[in-house]
Structure 1
Amino acid sequence: MRTSRIRLLAATGATLAALALTACEDGTGTEDEGAGSTSRPTATATTDTPSDAGKDDSASSAPTAAGGGSHEAGGGKDTGSGGKDTGSGGKGGNTDDGKTDEGADDGPETRVACNGSNTTVTARPVSRPLNHMLITVKNTGSGPCDLTYYPVLRFDEMQWVPQPIEETKPQAVVGIDPGESAYAGVLLSAADGSGDGGTTGHKLAVGFQGRTPNSSGGPSAIPSLPAKGVYYDSTLAVSYWQQSMDDALTY
């Protein structure tokens, strides 16, 4: 009886010892919890904090005293090559067409109007056609001049202007070179006596028109008339300026 009890106690103690060893190996015992806490990594890591990382990055990109600044500071606008090229476009420089400003072409010669200051004007009656007078304008200037429209005639103190003969209107403005002449014909009176208000004029003013109708083209001319004067009536009319004498007297 005593021997059986001793065996039972021995078996029970062996079992408890085995259980304690097992608990120690699989980490479920109190001794295991204490050992685990000493071997587990602590919360203090060597990883840089965000503030430390920002300092490192800024330090690596900050300009140094010898480097002359960052890329933006040293890469400003290249005004030497990207600015306006005043060397080629300034006064006296070459232009796109290869001419210089100082030697640029002034264009075609400017033409002036023929008038009493650059011409001599004569007025003389002709035998054919009847009752006609021929006005001749000679260019006495140093350059060409133009005669526009028709002469504006005024005998003495007359208060009306003779009308132009529309059939004589030329295709273009009549130009006169220096030393050359142009002409206009004047119908003084009706050959059949149908005109009225006939009178004799002793003084004649020949007016010149500008580039627009009835505008002034410059000083008038005062040609000499025959001593006996020139007879005219209400049919008084004048041709447009013509390049030739024949055209001026043919209408």
Structure 2
Amino acid sequence: MTSRNLRIAAALAVAALTLTACGGGGGGTKEKADKAAPTSAATGSTGPASAAPEPVVPTPENPCGGALKVEVRAAKSPAGHALLTATNTSDKICFVDGFPYLRFDQDQATVAPVEESATQDRIAVRPGKAAYAAILTTAADGSGGKGRDVSRLSVTFQAPDRLKLDPLPGAPARPALPDGKLHVDDKVRTTYWMYDEAHAQEWVGPAAKPAM
């Protein structure tokens, strides 16, 4: 074979190899690459399943809504205090926790509780029954100052987690005041909720520890 023929044969061999590499022979690099890289659809069907979303935990709500009818009345004896009642008007048991959050008129701060009256139990209020909290409106020894007349009271219930001191969601109760007003001074306090009216009043009576 002449040198010219050798050059032609070499050129034809190179061309044949090039065609094979480009897929002309049906088993080239491009085909292998296509097989090695799965499509997005294949990834979605053969890949691991997506993790299930976390369940949504609802925010605790007042189980009785507006079923607790809140009223306030002045106590005849001892002087200088009032009684708050929360009557269950529903057909199921309602619970009250901690102490009532009381605000008079435009006050931003709530009335401080008589801490000695605290209990560890939730108060279960059966249908038609009531829970009680006594309000020390004025200090018997005059240590609360001149005081003032208030014409409005808002009452909010405490959420079950007492450590957070959060109120239950919803609008506060706005009970009418006896004779349209109450006289309160700087020593105004409220007890925790209790089952018994007389027991609540003991914490603000003459024998009670003076509010600090």
TM-score, reference length from structure 1: 0.53
Q: Which protein is bigger by CA-based radius of gyration? A: 1
Amino acid at match of 2:141: D
User: Per-residue deviation at 1:159?
Assistant: 2.5
Q: Identify the match of residue 150 of structure 1 among 82, 90, 99.
A: 99
Q: 1:172 to 1:112 in 2, by over 3 A?
A: farther
Match in the other structure for 1:236: 188
Q: Identify the match of residue 117 of structure 2 among 168, 173, 176.
A: 168
User: Per-residue deviation at 1:192?
Assistant: 1.6
Q: Which structure 1 residue ranges, 5 or more long, are not aligned?
A: 1-110
TM-score, reference length from structure 2: 0.62
Amino acid at match of 2:169: G
Higher helix share: 1
Is the 8 Å Cα contact of residues 113 and 147 (structure 1) preserved in structure 2? no
- CA–CA distance in structure 2, aligned partners of residues 139 and 201 of structure 1: 27
Is the 8 Å Cα contact of residues 64 and 90 (structure 2) preserved in structure 1? no
Q: Which structure 2 residue ranges, 5 or more long, are not aligned?
A: 1-59, 204-212
Is the 8 Å Cα contact of residues 61 and 169 (structure 2) preserved in structure 1? no
Q: Identify the match of residue 217 of structure 1 among 168, 184, 201.
A: 168
Q: Identify the match of residue 136 of structure 2 among 184, 187, 190.
A: 187
Q: Larger relative CO (CA 8 A, sep 6+): 1 or 2? A: 2
User: Per-residue deviation at 1:210?
Assistant: 0.7
What percent identity do the matched residue pairs reach?
32
Amino acid at match of 1:236: V
Match in the other structure for 1:207: 156
Does residue 71 of structure 2 align to residue 119 of structure 1?
no
- CA–CA distance in structure 2, aligned partners of residues 230 and 238 of structure 1: 14
RMSD: 1.9
**Per-residue CA distance 1:187-237 (angstroms, 9 max, x = gap):** 001112111261111011011011123212233211111235100011010
| SS across alignment from 1:167 | helix
User: Per-residue deviation at 1:121?
Assistant: 0.8
| SS across alignment from 1:227 | helix
Amino acid at match of 1:128: S
